[in-house]
């Protein structure tokens, strides 16, 4: 696979070649926030300035997550986006939907850049957002400006963005594994079915009955059938690639493991094509992408092969009997599905090497 690195020399908020990027994180004690801090702490160009937590304000980070003991004992503060904007080059919002948008203003954006790990700026249509998230959007004036932060597809736009909407975890896995099929007009887009599985951390850190250990351990279940909020996000981005509307079926499942996402997607072929030919199409489509790994024929990804890494692993198989193609993909939902992709977006926005702070080898055990 190609090991091309993307290095940019422009610095959108002043020189960062010799200066550190000053970072603030709102929602620092959720799972995505924790993972973001872990990655940024080891980033060679980042200084963590502010951490905020609604639930743990006043406590040290190391009192909430003891793995930071003696490493990062910074005190957690109440949410104060204006103070963060005064002190930071970029603010990461790691909040439930509906909360980040209420903090965004033109005044804030004149001072700092925003990366929203939540869902508030992913959908371009405010009515679609309201329909799926059951809440009115608080800052619809910024929806058109916000760039959908799937780095491999929107790299050039991300480099010049003030607001980046970090994609959802299921969507990252689904879109990257289907994009080459849609772009190359290999499939009947109306036949797409995505069968997805996620570890329990995808539900967040808040107490929830369905994700309690006795409720989720030794069980395997579908949820959000026909109603999951990542559905319009996947449809929006694949439709943009296709140049026409795509409607698909998406069903997520909860797996009793901590982290990881595996998607198995199906679609009907519209041309006679073999597995090895499609694999070559994928390799060409992603030839410059360090974080997307295309498997050889009859080899398929597992969640443990990407654990604690920013990789997307994809395997492809055609079924001549049913005239369908099957795309299997795996990511770590907390890294490429959340914090890692957010760091990748930050690197692009500040013109530094795209893989900075993201070079960890997956931990297979």
**Which residues sit opposite 324 in a β-bridge?**
268, 319
Tokens (6 digits) for 303:
């969640």
**Which residues sit opposite 51 in a β-bridge?**
25
Q: Is the CB of residue 3 less than 8 Å from the CB of residue 290?
A: yes
Q: Is the CB of residue 62 less than 8 Å from the CB of residue 71?
A: yes
Q: What are phi and psi of 225, to 5 degrees?
A: -70, 115
Number of residues that this document lists for the chain: 365
Catalytic: which of 88, 151, 169, 173?
Answer: 169
Cα separation, 195 vs 174, whole angstroms: 9
Tell me the CA distances in angstroms from 103 to 92, 125, 168, 206, one per residue in order: 12, 19, 20, 22
Tokens (6 digits) for 4:
């091309």
**Which residues sit opposite 293 in a β-bridge?**
313
Concerning whether 169 is annotated as a catalytic residue, the answer is yes
**If you write DSSP's letter for every residue of 126-181 in order, what string do you get?**
HHHHHHHHSS--S-GGGTTTSEE--HHHHHHHHHT-SEEEPPPHHHHHHHHHHHHH
Tokens (6 digits) for 301:
């990804």
SS3 294: strand
Sheet of 221-222: strand order equals 221-222, 249-254, 193-198, 261-268, 324-331, 312-319, 292-294
DSSP 111: T
Tell me the CA distances in angstroms from 28 to 174, 261, 302, one per residue in order: 27, 22, 29
Q: Is the CB of residue 310 less than 8 Å from the CB of residue 340?
A: yes
Cα separation, 62 vs 347, whole angstroms: 26
What residues are annotated to the active site? 169
């Amino acid at each position: 696979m190609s090991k091309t690195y993307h290095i940019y020399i422009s610095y959108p908020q002043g020189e960062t070649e010799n200066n550190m990027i000053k970072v603030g994180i709102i929602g620092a004690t959720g799972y995505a926030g924790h993972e973001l801090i872990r990655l940024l702490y080891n980033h060679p160009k980042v200084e963590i300035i502010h951490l905020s937590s609604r639930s743990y304000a006043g406590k040290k980070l190391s009192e909430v997550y003891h793995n930071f003991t003696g490493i990062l004992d910074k005190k957690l503060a109440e949410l104060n986006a204006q103070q963060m904007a005064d002190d930071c080059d970029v603010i990461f919002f790691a909040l439930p939907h509906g909360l980040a948008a209420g903090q965004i203003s033109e005044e804030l954006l004149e001072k700092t850049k925003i990366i929203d790990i939540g869902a508030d700026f992913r959908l371009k249509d405010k009515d679609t957002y309201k329909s799926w998230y059951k809440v009115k959007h608080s800052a619809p004036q910024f929806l058109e400006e916000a760039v959908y932060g799937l780095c491999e597809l929107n790299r050039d736009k991300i480099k010049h963005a003030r607001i980046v909407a970090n994609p959802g975890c299921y969507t990252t896995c689904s879109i990257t594994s289907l994009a080459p099929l849609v772009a190359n007009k290999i499939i009947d887009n109306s036949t797409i079915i995505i069968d997805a599985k996620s570890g329990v951390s995808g539900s967040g850190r808040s107490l929830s009955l369905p994700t309690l250990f006795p409720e989720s351990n030794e069980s395997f279940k579908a949820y959000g059938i026909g109603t999951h909020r990542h559905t319009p996000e996947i449809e929006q981005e694949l439709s943009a690639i296709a140049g026409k509307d795509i409607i698909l079926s998406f069903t997520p499942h909860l797996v009793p493991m901590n982290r990881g996402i595996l998607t198995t997607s199906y679609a009907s072929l519209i041309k006679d094509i073999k597995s090895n030919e499609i694999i070559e199409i994928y390799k060409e489509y992603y030839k410059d992408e360090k974080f997307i790994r295309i498997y050889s024929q009859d080899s398929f990804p597992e969640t443990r092969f990407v654990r604690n890494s920013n990789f997307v692993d994809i395997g492809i198989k055609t079924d001549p009997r049913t005239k369908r193609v099957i795309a299997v993909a795996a990511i770590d939902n907390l890294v490429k599905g959340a914090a890692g992709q957010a760091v990748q977006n930050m690197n692009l926005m500040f013109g530094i090497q795209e893989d900075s702070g993201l070079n960890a080898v997956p931990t297979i055990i």
